Amino acid sequence: MLFDTHIHLNVSHFDEDREEVLQRAKEAGVENMVIVGFDHETIPKAIDIAEKYDYIYAAVGWHPVDAIDMTDKELDWLEELSSHPKVVALGEMGLDYHWDKSPREIQKDVFRKQIQLAKKVKLPIIIHNREATEDIIQVLQEQNAGEIGGVMHCYNDSVKYVDAFLAMNFYISLGGPVTFKNATLPKEVAKHVPGDRLLIETDCPFLAPHPNRGKRNEPAYVRLVAEKIAELREESYEEVSKKTTENAKRFFDISG
């Protein structure tokens, strides 16, 4: 019983074998997934795939790298899609200071607008953070994002920030990097996060876990993430998979 909380099966990497990828995920024990749309192309595809499969849900948001391209039209579109029965969160949204396509102040403005929309439609948020942790915390606190809560997607920063996110009603999601031999930060985080605030993901097709690092990632590999977290926390695989699935269903308000 596994729940991959962040996938991108809506990108071209899976156009040739999407059905086979989903079959492998089922064989690996993946019972639910959330497919994340982040721009004009991937958002409609996320909805389409979620409509096709009863065990797949969708999240819709505007990626910070493309913040400069977002207008009120896109914000209205996200609000319209937020009422879709398969949409369970808004995102991914946030800040990305690695790429320089969108100026930081524009990123922050778009981030704030999406948080405000999430509060309006009462959906949790999925946060993309790259090299911007302290500014992310500042914006979340300023916008009182704890009202709706959220998840730090593929968390890969210091343990010292984790408690600030937990205090705002956020979950911490770990992906493939927790399995990388030289990745100390996510391993420390895996041991630190309370069991009721931990989620797992693949972020496929990116960040494939060891021993598939460097290859295309896919939802079946979320099992490797759960196994590594179980080892780090000195818990059974069954306990981690059960706990993270229950957490995901609670976070996304999915029954059954």
Rounded CA separation 111/109 (Å): 5
Please state, in angstroms and as integers, the Cα–Cα distance from residue 28 to each residue in 3, 39, 213, following that order: 11, 30, 18
DSSP of 97-158, one letter per residue?
-SS-SS-HHHHHHHHHHHHHHHHHHT--EEEEEES-HHHHHHHHHHTTGGGT-EEETT--S-
> Is the pLDDT confidence value at 229 over 80?
yes
Supply angle C-alpha 92, 113, 37, rounded to 5.
Answer: 25
**For residue range 67-89, what is the model confidence (pLDDT) as tens digits?**
999 999 999 999 999 999 999 99
Q: What angle do CA 98, 89, 85 make, to 5 degrees?
A: 145
**Cα angle, residue 141 at apex, residues 137 and 144 outer, rounded to 5°:** 140
CATH number for region 2-251: 3.20.20.140
Answer for the pair 8, 205: CB distance below 8 angstroms, yes or no: yes
What tokens appear for 127 in the block?
């946060």
Q: What is the pLDDT of residues 234-248, one digit of tens each?
A: 999 999 999 999 999
Domain ranges of the chain: 2-251
Residues 6+ apart with CB under 8 A from 184: none
DSSP 8-class letter at 208: P
What per-residue confidence (pLDDT) applies to 100? 85
CA 38, 40, 44 angle in degrees (round to 5)? 85
Q: Is the distance from CB of 161 to CB of 126 less than 8 angstroms?
A: no
pLDDT surpassing 80 at residue 256: no
In the structure, what pLDDT confidence band is assigned to residue 10 with cuts at 50, 70 and 90? very high
pLDDT tens track for 172-222: 999 999 999 999 999 999 999 999 999 999 999 999 999 999 999 999 999
* DSSP character at residue 209: P
Q: Which pLDDT belongs to residue 222? A: 98
Q: Which of 197, 160, 193, 154 is nearest to 174 (CA)?
A: 154
- Give the residue among 201, 241, 230 at the shortest CA–CA distance from 218: 201
pLDDT value, residue 108: 98
The residues near 5 (Cβ < 8 Å, ≥ 6 apart) are 33, 34, 151, 153, 173, 199, 200, 201, 248, 251, 252
Buried b (16+ CB within 10 A) or exposed e, 52-77: eeeebbbbbbbbbbbbeebeeebbeb
Percentage above 90 pLDDT, the chain: 99
For the segment 20-42, what is each residue's pLDDT rounded down to a tens digit? 999 999 999 999 999 999 999 99
206 vs 200: CA distance, rounded Å: 14
Q: What is the pLDDT of residues 87-143, one digit of tens each?
A: 999 999 999 999 989 999 999 999 999 999 999 999 999 999 999 999 999 999 999
Please give the Cα distance from 208 to 225 (Å, whole number): 10
What is the model's pLDDT at position 31? 98
